[in-house]
Structure 1
Amino acid sequence: MPGERDLRTLLRGMRPELHPDRYVFTTVPGAVPQGLTPVATVTEDEGTTLVLRQEDAERAGLGYEYVAARITLRVHSALEAVGLTAAVAGALADAGISCNVIAGFHHDHLFVPHPLADRTLRVLDTLAARS
């Protein structure tokens, strides 16, 4: 089933879902250490960024600075859809909430400061209702 491309449909159908765990961004010099299952990895010249549950990072002795809540937009967005990330980021920026977005094949995943998770959900619900 192809992903949705229409921005209004995407915004109305976001259905943001808050995951219960706390997540962190950390970096390692090479491959993912054995025993870890990151939500996402990004390979950069400086190292491999891992996004994983805070408890997994602590168990592995990995340092981090940012503790995030993970919110999945349950709408199946097409990777070539235009405007969803901009609309979400703009609404959150207007509310003073930083956001790191990672796109998966089916869904977008938002990582926001953990203490602002509930406020983020309210902003997203308002954005969806206005669309």
Structure 2
Amino acid sequence: MAGERDLQKLLGGMRPVLNPGRYVYCTLPGKVPTGLRPVVTVVEAEGPTVVVAQEEADALGLPYDYVAAWITLQIHSALNAVGLTAAVAGHLADRGISCNVVAGFHHDHLFVGADEADRAVAALRELAARQS
């Protein structure tokens, strides 16, 4: 099934869910270590960046300085949909909440400061309710 492209439907149906746990961004000098289970991996010229559960990073002694909560927007968004990231990030920014957005094939995922998780979910639900 193709993902949704209509912005109003995307916003109205996003159904944000806060995933359990705390997540951290780590940059690695080489390859991703065997056994590490990142939820996101981005390969940059400086080395891979991974987002992993905080306890996993701690167990491996990986350094980090940003602790995040992971929110998944439950609507299946099309990868070529226009405006969802801007609308969501802008709505959170208006409330002083930073977010890092990662698109998966089926869903968009937001990483917000761990201390802002509940406010972010409430703000996203407010945004969705406006579309009704």
- Give the TM-score category using the shorter length: over 0.9
Residue in 2 aligned with 1:102? 102
Where does residue 78 of structure 1 map in the other structure? Answer: 78
Q: What does the per-residue CA deviation read over 1:88-110, in whole Å, with 9 as the maximum and x for residues that have no partner?
A: 00000000000000000000000
* Structure 2 residues not aligned, in runs of 5+: none
Distance (Å, rounded) in 2 between the aligned partners of 1:63 and 1:72: 25
Which amino acid is 2:106 matched to? H
Q: Partner of 2:58: helix, strand, or coil? A: helix
TM-score if structure 1 supplies the norm length?
0.99
- In structure 2, what is the equivalent of residue 39 of structure 1? 39
Aligned counterpart, 2:125: 125
The whole-number CA distance in structure 1 between the counterparts of 2:82 and 2:50 is 27
> What secondary structure does 1:20 align onto?
coil
- Give the TM-score taking structure 2 as reference length: 0.98
**Structure 1, unpaired ranges of 5+:** none
Deviations 1:52-89 (A, max 9, x none): 10000011110000000000000000000000000000
Percent of aligned positions that are identical:
66
- Indicate the RMSD between aligned Cα atoms, in angstroms: 0.5
Letter in structure 1 aligned against 2:66: Y
Deviation beyond 4 Å, 4+ runs, structure 1 = none
Counting matched residue pairs gives: 131
Q: Deviations over 1:28-56 (max 9, x none)?
A: 01211011110011111111000010000
Q: In structure 2, how many angstroms separate the alpha carbons of the residues matched to 1:14 and 1:30? A: 36
Alignment partner of 1:65 is 2:65 = yes
CA deviations over 1:13-38 (Å, ceiling 9, x no partner): 00001011100000101211011110
Question: Comparing 10-19 with 28-37, which one deviates more in the overlay?
Answer: 28-37
Q: Which amino acid aligns with 1:59?
A: A
In the alignment, the residues of structure 2 paired with residue 88 and residue 120 of structure 1 have an alpha-carbon distance, to the nearest angstrom, of: 10
1:44-59 matches, cutoff 5 A: 44-59=44-59
Secondary structure of the corresponding residue to residue 101 of structure 1:
strand
Matched residue of 2:62: which SS? coil
